[in-house]
Structures are given as C-alpha cells and as structure tokens.
A and B are shown apart, each in its own frame.
Chain A
Amino acid sequence: MATFLARRLLWFIPVLFVVALITFVLMKAAPGGPWDRDAESKQVDPRTMELLARKYGLDKPAWRQFIGYLVGDFDDEGQFVCGAVCGNLGPSYRQRGKTVQQILFEPPPEKGFFDSKFGHTARLAVLALVIALAVGIPAGVFSALRQNSWLDYALTFITNIGIAVPSFVVAFFSILIFAVGLKWMPVVQKSWAGLTPFIIPAIVFGFGTMAQTARLMRSTILEVMRQDYVRTARAKGLVEQAVIWKHMLRNALIPIITTLGPAVAGLLTGSIVIENIFGVPGVGRDFIQSIGNRDYSMIMGTTLFYVILILLGNLSVDLLYGVVDPRIRVD
C-alpha cells in the first residue's frame, strides 16, 4: 500500500515536469509579451518594459526562467525565492501586486475560503458530482429493477441523450429554458452566495456523468441480479429492500468507481467552459480571461493546478477501490 502510494506520487513529478515544460515552451513561442497588448492603456514605453522584464525576471535566459519558476531562484538581494515546488506560482503579470496562488485561493476580504476563485469552482464541481451520483445511481437501479417498463425506456432515452450531447451544448439549452423561457434565473447571475445559484449550472455540468452512471448502474444491476449470492440472500428470507440496497448495490458500485476518475477529471476541466457560459467567478472563467490578457504566469499556474487536481482525483479513486471492494488489493 505504502509503496503503491509512493510510486504513484513519484509519477506525479515527470508528468508535472513535462506539462510545465510544454506550457513554458508554448509561452515562449507565442509572439508578443504580456505588456504589448494592453487594450485600454497606451503603448508601454521601452524603458518601462525593460524595468518590468527585469522585475519579473524575463531578462534572464529561458532555461533559468524555467528552473526559477519550478524550483526557485535568487532575487536581486541574493535571497532565495522558492518556486512552484513550494506552491509559489509567481506574480501575475496583469493583476499587479498579486501572486497567482493569491488570485486562485484568496477569498475577498471578510469572506470564507469558499468565496475564493477555487472555492466557487469547488462548489460547482462537488455539487455537480453529488447531484450526478444522487440521481444517476437510483435512476439506474430503478431502470434495471423495472426492466423493459415504460420507466426503463424513458430513463434509457434520457440517458442516451445525456451521454451524446456534451455539457457545453446542454448549458445553452438550459439557459434558453430556465433563463429565457421560465425566467427562474437571470441569464447572467450576479450573486454567487450559498448554493442556490449553483444548482442549475451543477445539474447541467453533471448531466453527462449522471447519464453515464445511470447506464452503467443499470447494466451492472442487471448482471448482479442473476448472481448466486443474491439468490442466497433471498433464500435466507431477507427483505427485498435489504437484498437490493445491501447485496446488489454494494457490488454494483465497484464499476461506478472506476468511471469516477475520468468523470472527476472531466468535471474539473469542463468547468473552464461551463463557468464561462454561466458566468461563475471561478478558476475556469479566470483562466479564459487570462488567456485573453496573455497573462502567461496565470495561464501556466492554472494549468499546473488543474493537472495536479486531476492527478490527485485519479489517485484517490484508485485508493477508493480497496475500500469498496476488499477483494481488490493495490500493489
């Protein structure tokens, strides 16, 4: 177990290094710097540009910038400043005076952590996952228990649509239905306090995961239903509810967990687009804005952060297998 964990964590290093390298090379290949496309301000004069480049260490050779970003470098006073390995993602080029990690994680004054950029993203993604599982699992179970009924056909139809149509398109339909048609919410939400404004975006966002969960749950329950241990449970006189929820469901959950890894990864990166459509002030919307601003340190920091989240998501899902199914040993 410990070796498994250590090996998986060690594997993070080459992945993050390669991602950082690709991102860095792409940034360097991009024409123009972060200061010469300021739309509102006048052209930055050469002297200021030189000072800015010096301040952000852009006058150093590229390899040194890269190492400095990842590991750290000495500043003008000879003081060592730790880089990305210490969680220091560097100063944002465009939001002056703030570091990337401050922009991502620091809540506005007198607000809690969940009002930070990442807090909004986390609220959206967690809510989406919870809704997807809370609806998808029972839907799949009922569909299987009443196989070939109208309920089964209706659920299967919705499931097929949910799998085919990506959340990017579903989001536009939901805005047309709930904002333009029913007027339950404004097209552009202003306040993101609490959980209520997140509900419709989260349902849209989790729709695909919900559909996949329901489909997989249906087919697994249909398989599990015919197993000997289910017959045994019935034969020893267990109540039907106990047979379904204790014996069938627990075994049917194992394949669901294998799909959770990709689902979590999809939810995290999908948030880039979904946040942008619904106007959620999270990491994803910020990412798109920093792309428009060519805020390179912001783009690089957010990319690394996304990849770490996905790696951790996949790892925790692998660890979950062992909890749900003691027969599976990680080694």
Chain B
Amino acid sequence: MAQATPSLSRSATAAAPAIASQSQRQLAWRRLRRNRAALIGGIVVTIYLLTALFASSLAPHNPIKDYGASRAFLPPFWQPESPAGKTYDPTFPLGTDQQGRDVLSRILYGTRTSIVAGVLPVTIVVLIGTTLGFVSGYLGGGADNLLMRITDIFYAVPTELLLILVMVTLGDTALGKAANGVPLFLIALSAVSWSGLARLMRGSALSLKNLAFVEAAQSLGASDFHIISRHILPNSVGVLVVWIAFAIPRFIIAEAILGYIGLGLRPSLNPNDFFITSWGRLFLDAYSIIGSQPGFLLAVAAVVSLLVISFTFLGDGLRDALDPRMKK
C-alpha cells in the first residue's frame, strides 16, 4: 500500500529516530538488488536497450551493403571454416550472409527494430488496458459487463491467430505499406493484446475499491477520476510493472514469428530508414541458408534467447520484490 505506508513510517521515525525510514519503493528496490538473477537480467536488458539506441554507431559495417560473392558465406569467429569452404575474416566477426552482408551489423540493426517492436505496443496497450480496466472495475455496471464479455471472447481466441489474420489481410492496404508496416504492426498487436491487461487491471480495481483508504477518499468527496488516478493506479503499479516485464519479450517474439512467416515489417533498402531488418526477418534469412551458414542462425537464436531469458529473470525478480506475498 504505497499510499498508507509513508505516513506510517514517518510516525515511526518520530518515535524512534535511530531507525531510518524506508518507503515501499526503497524496500522493493533493496529486495530486487539482493536477487542476483534479476540484477543480471536487468543489466543485460539495459545493454540491449543501449545497443538498440546506438546501433548505427556500433555496427562495424553498413548492414545492407553487400560485399560480393567472394565474401559471401564467411563463417563466424568460432568456426575457422564454413561449410561453403570460406575461411574466417576478422573484419566480419559473425560472418556474412549469402549476399555478403555483415551479420553482426544486421543483428545490431535488427535489435533496434525488435526492441521498438516490443516497447512501443506495450506503451499503447498499457494506456488502453489500464484505462478500460480501471473504469470498468471501479464503476462496474453495464460498461463492466460489456468489457467482460469482450475479454471472454478474446480469451477463447489465441492472439497469435488474430495477429496473423490482421497482418495478412491488411498488409497490402495503404496502412500496411506505410512506414515499413510499423504502424499496422503496432495497431494489430495492441488490438489483440489489450484485453488481457484490461482484465488484470479490472481485478486490481475491484479488490482495491472496497478498502478503507478508498472509502475514506470517497467520504471526503473525492471525484472518481481522483480516486482512480491517485489511489487505484499507484496501488496497481506493482502488478502493472510485472505485466510489462513479461509482455515486452512476448511482443518481441510475436514480431519474430510474424517476420519469420513473412508477414512482419517490410525491410527497407534505404540505409537512412529506421527499419532495415528485424530479428524475425533475420530468422527467415538465416534459416534459408542453414546448410551453408549455420552460424548465422545460431547467432540470431542466441541473441534473442539471451534477451528473453533476461526479461524473465527481471520479471520474476520484480514480482518477488514488489509483492513479497506473491513469491513462489
């Protein structure tokens, strides 16, 4: 109860000044720091975020420049010779693909796209999901009923299936072609994923609205908006943060699956475009040349796995830190 505790700890400090007071946030932070797996996960996630931000400065080569047939299928550093008979060239640490493009640079640029593909839809879903969830949970009534029926239907329909349907049917419309397909991807992913979070936030609002501090605020004449934004929201932040930590990798994988099927973002040949390639596209590229360049697929799979595992460790740690009662 982030609302109730600060005042409690303040009075505790007054009584016994020797003990420094700690807010819920500080306590949670301390619990998180003690969790080694979560800490490592957090550091790795930060490194990926920085990589995404500085992809263009970090990449040793132009990701779409092809270095010709003589330098195609170069092996990565752990393989002295590729199945195609080429020897390792230190200027291409992870080797090259069938067109002689630098794999490392392509993965770095792909990281940027995939991170954005994970973070941006989460932002949209959080805005929609929390608003609808809080309003329906707190106010109840007909709107609440409607929301529950809609989420019931979405619950029966797998999100991947809906996502594939939207991407395939709208992919060739003006919306699908705009900005490498990024807007359509964002809209599609948000449209199929908001209901789960709305349900979660509704549950949170339902369990909070009958507690004493909400009742106190109501009796003081606080408006519904005030109660939702100042009482329900801060007390739901823990659940929300954990949901976000697990949603981002899920969305990244969703992009990767769509890209692999050939329904994801559209690759661009303009080096100044934001979207050059994504992890999904790289899976597709790498799998098609697995016979002559298996190191490419291994590198992509390893890069994706490391981020997904780190997010899970971080998410588990956040859950344990923010709500010790939920600890498994």
Which residues of A does B touch, CB under 8 Å? 11, 14-15, 18-19, 22-23, 26-27, 29-32, 160-161, 163-166, 168-169, 172-173, 175-176, 180, 187, 219, 265-266, 268-270, 272-273, 276-277, 288, 291-292, 294, 299, 303, 306-307, 310-311, 314
Contact = CB atoms under 8 A, between A and B. Distances in A.
Nearest to A173: B301
Contact of A169 (B152, B157, B166, B308): B308
A166 B297 CA distance: 16
Given A169-B301, A172-B297, A299-B168, A291 B263 contact: yes
B308 A165 contact: yes
A180 B170 contact: no
A273 B257 contact: yes
A35 B180 CA distance: 26
Interface string B153-180: 1001110111011101110110000000
B262 interface: yes
A289 to B, nearest CB: 10
B309 A166 contact: no
Contacts of B157: 15, 19, 307, 310
B309 A26 contact: no
A310 B261 contact: no
Given A23-B165, A160-B312, A31 B156 contact: no
A166 to B, nearest CB: 5
The 4 A-B pairs at the shortest CB distance, nearest first, are namely A164-B312, A30-B169, A26-B169, A269-B158
A281 B125 CA distance: 36
A163 B301 CA distance: 16
A180 B301 contact: no
B298 interface: yes
B309 A299 contact: no
Interface residues of B, number: 41
Given A26-B166, A168-B256, A180 B158 contact: no
Interface string B94-115: 0000000000000000000000
Contact of A26 (B170, B256, B301): B170
A155 to B, nearest CB: 15
A302 to B, nearest CB: 9
Nearest to B252: A166
Which of A265, A291, A310 is the most central at the interface, judged by chain B CB atoms within 10 Å of its CB?
A291
Contacts of A273: 160, 257, 260-261
Given A180-B294, A265-B158, A307-B157, A164 B309 contact: yes
A311 B161 CA distance: 14
A30 B294 contact: no
Nearest to A276: B261
Contacts of B156: 15, 307, 310-311, 314
A307 B290 CA distance: 34
Given A172-B283, A265-B158, 10 more contacts: A15-B152, A30-B173, A164-B309, A169-B304, A173-B301, A176-B294, A176-B301, A272-B161, A273-B260, A314-B156
A71 B127 CA distance: 39
B161 A269 contact: yes
A11 B152 CA distance: 10
Contact of A292 (B262, B294, B300, B305): B262
Contacts of B304: 169
Nearest to B261: A288
B325 interface: no
